[in-house]
Copies of this chain bind each other. A is one copy, B any other.
Amino acid sequence: MQATLAQLCETLKKHGMKPELEGDAGQNIHSVTTLEDAGEGQISFLSNPKYEKMLQQTRAAAVILKPDVPAPDHLNLIRVVDPYAALTVLIVKVHGYRQHRRVAPSPTCTHIVESAEIGENATIHPGASIDEDVVIGDNAIIYPGCYVGPRCRIGNDLLLYPNVVVYDDTIMGDRVTIHAGTVIGEDGLGYAPVGNKWIKIPQIGYVEIGDDVEIGASCTIDRATLGKTKIGSGTKFSNLIAVGHGTQIGENCLLVAQVGLAGSVNVGEHVTMAGQVGVVGHIRIGDNATLGAKAGVTNNVPDGETYLGAPAIPITEMKRQLVHIQRLPELKQQVKQLQKQIAALEARLSDEVEAK
């Protein structure tokens, strides 16, 4: 949607911001992009001072930036305290969210078992399969190659990108989005040892996903052995994340790519896990905790704490530990020096004793 800079400022004001416009208020904007790529009719932003010199070269029609940052005279500017927040508002205003083509089910290639109930206004693409006794709410968009297993119960406004697989008995709330290739509800690694062999334990639990959850691409979320694996409302996942059986994740968490949670982990609300974090089974990650990239978490993490390292410890301790490790050569040198001094002292003392 095209809009003038004046109109964009109005939008920001409605979001509680106080934009100051410098330059041509009537300038038309048709899209948002990076300082580097921007050209005619495009607005961009500068948030990180590291990139300030790019203001000199940009061909953007306007730039969003902080009140005190110097900029070339010819540039149209929207000055706000938090340019990135303003940017996100304007992306929604100018571009909106992805539109999805609506299609009628193909008589030959959309495989919806008769006992499935699908709400109004659904788009089930050819090549998708909906199995027995599934219930899905209104406005579902299900792309090709998706499979929804028996007895799943899913709310309104479901969005499944291509090739998502949802195993039997999964429960989802409203406004759930799952990106391509993700698998929900597969069996966990549940085997009983009998001699040297592993005998499969039927995994009779299920997965429950709350409202407003978005899961990235190619994640795997195990069903529980008994009871449920749970992803709380408002939680967002990046890609290639593994969640073990029976793990329960609270609301509004943010998990970065390649995180792995073992089974029966209990994760609080609003927890952040950076990339490649691993968490062992049967522990608790407290509300508002943060786990740094590649952390290997082996013990409970208290509410609000930031842990780092493998095994993970509070970040301040880990940083101190790293400094100590970096200074090991120095420490070794000091010990060597002490050894010399002591040898010298011992020799002097012996000399004196002899001298007497």
Contact = CB atoms under 8 A, between A and B. Distances in A.
Interface of A: 31-34, 36-37, 44, 48, 84-85, 88, 91-92, 95-98, 101, 106, 108-109, 111, 113, 125-127, 129, 131-132, 143-145, 147, 150, 161-163, 165, 167-168, 179-181, 183, 186-189, 191-192, 196-202, 204-205, 214, 216-220, 222, 225-228, 234, 236-240, 242, 244, 251-252, 254, 256-258, 260, 262, 269-270, 275-276, 278, 280, 282, 293-294, 296, 298, 310-311, 320-322, 324-329, 331-332, 334-335, 338-339, 341-342, 345-346, 348-349, 352-353
A218 B183 contact: yes
B339 A334 contact: yes
14 contacts: A32-B204, A48-B282, A101-B150, A108-B108, A180-B186, A181-B181, A181-B183, A181-B218, A191-B254, A200-B214, A256-B262, A257-B262, A321-B328, A324-B329
A239 B219 CA distance: 9
B126 A129 contact: yes
Q: How many copies does the complex hold?
A: 3
A143 B183 CA distance: 14
A236 B198 contact: yes
B150 A88 contact: no
Contact of A338 (B125, B256, B342): B342
Contacts of A163: 145, 147, 163, 165, 181
Specify which of A162, A234, A270 lies most central, judged by the most chain B CB atoms within 10 Å of its CB: A162
A322 B252 CA distance: 34
A197 to B, nearest CB: 5
A331 B334 CA distance: 11
Contact of A227 (B37, B189, B214, B334): B37
Given A91-B204, A275-B280, 6 more contacts: A127-B127, A145-B165, A198-B252, A218-B240, A276-B296, A349-B349
- Going nearest first, the 9 A-B pairs with the smallest beta carbon separation are A220-B239, A165-B180, A324-B328, A34-B227, A242-B257, A147-B162, A183-B217, A186-B217, A217-B220
A101 B132 contact: yes
A218 B218 contact: yes
A111 B33 CA distance: 33
Given A147-B163, A191-B236, A254-B191, A296 B296 contact: no
A252 B329 contact: no
B217 A256 contact: no
A36 B230 CA distance: 14
A106 to B, nearest CB: 8
B180 A180 contact: no
A131 B216 contact: no
A289 to B, nearest CB: 14
A189 B328 contact: no
Given A111-B126, A321-B325, A294 B278 contact: yes
A204 B95 contact: yes
B147 A167 contact: no
Specify which of A225, A226, A240 lies most central, judged by the most chain B CB atoms within 10 Å of its CB: A226
